[in-house]
A and B are shown apart, each in its own frame.
Chain A
Amino acid sequence: MMDKVLLAGFGGQGVMFIGKIFAVSGMIADLNVCWIPSYGPEMRGGTANCSVILSDEEIHSPVIDQADGGIVLNQPSYEKFLGRIKPGGVLVINSSIVNLNKIRDDIKIIKVPATEIANELGNSSIANMVCLGALLPHLNLTDYEKVKKAIYEVVGEKKPELLELNLNAIKKGMEH
């Protein structure tokens, strides 16, 4: 079994971070994982994206052509990655700032007003976590408990105040 996930947004929206959380949650479950960032000048100012694969078998090709699931946090990412979700897959969209000018009816689109929800929770920078929560129920190999452990591991004791905030954001997202 495999989960192939694409994550994209503006640099600074925490795309790499949620990718890392997914990957670490897979490590905790003793799965094979592969996390690949976009790198180089692409990172300057423009959009950032990364891909994560979780698998209970060996991961051969690390390249995701058609993903099972995705999260897009901004307009350019939406336009770029809408076509990269396989039929029957799931795409979570930060509907607070993405205008759904194009649509596909062969995939499940989950609209989450993530920026608004994040603001209500008191921190605009956790829109990424809200979206992570929204995608979570649609993945096969990871779940809330594993992600929770991953967040503890990554955010760690350094910033305990952030832990609760992140977990709340994920729970809010899971309601969608």
Chain B
Amino acid sequence: MQKVFGRPKGLTEVAFSFCPGCTHGIIMRLVGEVLEELEIIEDTIGVSPVGCAGFCQDFFSCDFVGAAHGRAQAVGTGIKRALPDRIVFTYQGDGDIAAIGTQHAIHTAARGEKITSIMVNNAIYGMTGGQMAPTTLEGMKTSTSPYGRDLVINGYPLDLPKTIATLDGVKYVASVSVDSPKNILQAKKAIKKAFQVQQAGLGFALVSVLSTCPTNWGLSPVDSLKWLRENMMPVYEMGELKVAEEVKNL
């Protein structure tokens, strides 16, 4: 009998340590599948951030380097420049890439660095226990915006992929979600394309994935998915935000 569903080879045997219902697990699985399907596990070096996403260094079966908070893309740049024929990717939370790591997010993209970045946007700081993130929505309560995000004090949520898509060095940007089977399939396609862009040596690619944090949102896993659909998807521009000409031919 043929096994039709199992752990992708891109993932190790280590069990996920995420909270129940956290979609970090789904996203990592998708990346793991892509690594397997593109047969690049042995050629890939991942860079992990600080945050719940940081645990990914134990879960993927490729080599990994742990970066300081926000610095994954700078570290990834260093690796790629040293080993241009390897595949380098970063897997970062929204706080990591869009707050403390913004300078690297902008400049890695502007330089057209040939790496792939996966951004997991859960609109909150998960690891540290639910503080406001750059992606926290207007009015959303977190432990550092206890009265709700106030645009006058905290400004607007940052749609990083949209910003990155405007930069010339960037070949592919997509914003996807893993809240439904259909969207999961789309998310996987986008992630795969982002790696193919790098394989083809074209330039920088970013995929942002909307994700849940039931623990810090204070919602059940199912309600979290609903909340994501109803609140996050209207705010963040979804779909392929940039597909360079060369990428269309891939």
Contact = CB atoms under 8 A, between A and B. Distances in A.
Contacts of A44: 17, 19
Contacts of A45: 17, 19
Interface in A103-129: none
A45 B19 CA distance: 8
A38 to B, nearest CB: 14
A173 B231 CA distance: 47
Interface in B10-60: 17, 19
Interface string B135-179: 000000000000000000000000000000000000000000000
Contacts of B17: 44-45
Contacts of B19: 44-45
A47 to B, nearest CB: 15
Task: Give the dominant DSSP class at A's interface.
Answer: loop
| B: interface residue count bin | under 10
Interface in A25-60: 44-45
| A: interface residue count bin | under 10
4 contacts: A44-B17, A44-B19, A45-B17, A45-B19
A45 B17 CA distance: 9
A174 B19 CA distance: 36
B51 to A, nearest CB: 12
B183 to A, nearest CB: 28
B93 to A, nearest CB: 15
Interface string A135-150: 0000000000000000
A45 B20 CA distance: 10
A34 B17 CA distance: 32
A45 B22 CA distance: 14
B100 to A, nearest CB: 20
A45 B16 CA distance: 13
A116 B19 CA distance: 28
A112 to B, nearest CB: 30
A134 B17 CA distance: 35
A168 B17 CA distance: 38
Nearest to A43: B129
A43 to B, nearest CB: 9
A15 to B, nearest CB: 18
Nearest to A41: B127
A95 to B, nearest CB: 28
A104 B19 CA distance: 36
B66 to A, nearest CB: 15
Interface string B190-226: 0000000000000000000000000000000000000
A148 to B, nearest CB: 31
B234 to A, nearest CB: 31
The 3 closest A-B pairs by CB, nearest first: A44-B19, A45-B19, A45-B17
B22 to A, nearest CB: 11
A44 B19 CA distance: 8
B41 to A, nearest CB: 28
B46 to A, nearest CB: 21
A43 B19 CA distance: 12
A44 B17 CA distance: 9
B49 to A, nearest CB: 16
B201 to A, nearest CB: 39
A111 B155 CA distance: 56
A143 B19 CA distance: 39
A35 B19 CA distance: 27
A30 B17 CA distance: 43
A16 to B, nearest CB: 14
A170 B19 CA distance: 32
A39 to B, nearest CB: 10
A10 to B, nearest CB: 14
B61 to A, nearest CB: 24
A77 to B, nearest CB: 20
